[in-house]
Amino acid sequence: MTAAEPPSEPTDSSPLRAKVLTVSDGVMAGTREDRGGAGLVARLVQAGFEVVASQVTGDGRETVGEALVELAEGFAGLIVTTGGTGFGARDLTPEGTLVVLDRQAPGLAEAMRLVSPLGRLSRAVAGTRGRALILNTPGSPAGAVECLEAVLDVVPHALRLLADQATEHTAQATGGRTN
């Protein structure tokens, strides 16, 4: 590429990119191990994602919202949170997420809730901010991975749509033309 050429847009063969946000006062304070975040990173890598960032923030609507805005800025990919989706007084991840979403994706949140009986207790939300897809998952390491796996099969398609990339649907609608 020469200096005059614009950077190319990602293609279907581009690696899927992801970021993980652990929401936990205990992990922030160093009194708890970040097993939920580590589990999500491992599962995303196993699924072929390049995890480009993993960070921790404290519980609370404002801290979660600010962290998500920072993570989504200029990012095209998946952002998965772990923690803060239950009924505890400081469990405000869904509220912080809702404040910063451009659009909600309730089908994804509903699918994640259906994977286990305890999923019905989750208040997690999903949606988009810019070209980032944001998913809330529980703080339990097993629950976080289980909820991610419930939607992982459709995430690449959603990310292609967010990036305005050709999909099988656009090819069918245009008779095979993708531009």
Per domain, the residue ranges of the chain are 16-173
Contacts for 32-39 with beta carbons within 8 Å, 24 or more apart? 35/141, 36/82, 36/83, 36/137, 36/138, 36/139, 36/140, 36/141, 36/144, 37/82, 38/141, 39/82, 39/141, 39/142, 39/144, 39/145
In this structure, the chain runs to a length of: 179
Max CA distance (Å), the chain = 57
- How far apart CA 64 and CA 67 sit, in angstroms, is 5
So what's the pLDDT on residue 165?
Answer: 85
So what's the pLDDT on residue 4?
Answer: 41
So what's the pLDDT on residue 107?
Answer: 98
Top-level class of domain 16-173: alpha beta
Residue 37, phi-psi category: left (phi > 0), alpha (psi -120 to 50), beta (remainder): alpha
So what's the pLDDT on residue 174?
Answer: 46
So what's the pLDDT on residue 41?
Answer: 98
Name the residue among 16, 23, 128, 125 with its Cα closest to residue 72.
128
So what's the pLDDT on residue 179?
Answer: 46
Structure tokens at 17: 């990119």
Q: Which residue has the tokens 């800025």?
A: 73
Host H or E run for residue 54 = strand 49-57
pTM of the model: 0.87
CB 128 within 8 A of CB 46: no
Residue-level pLDDT, tens digit, the chain, 179 residues: 344 433 333 445 567 999 999 999 999 999 999 999 999 999 999 999 999 999 999 999 999 999 999 999 999 999 999 999 999 999 999 999 999 999 999 999 999 999 999 989 999 999 999 999 999 999 999 999 999 999 999 999 999 999 988 666 545 554 555 44
Name the residue among 68, 76, 117, 120 with its Cα closest to residue 95.
68
- How far apart CA 56 and CA 38 sit, in angstroms, is 11
So what's the pLDDT on residue 15?
Answer: 78
So what's the pLDDT on residue 104?
Answer: 98
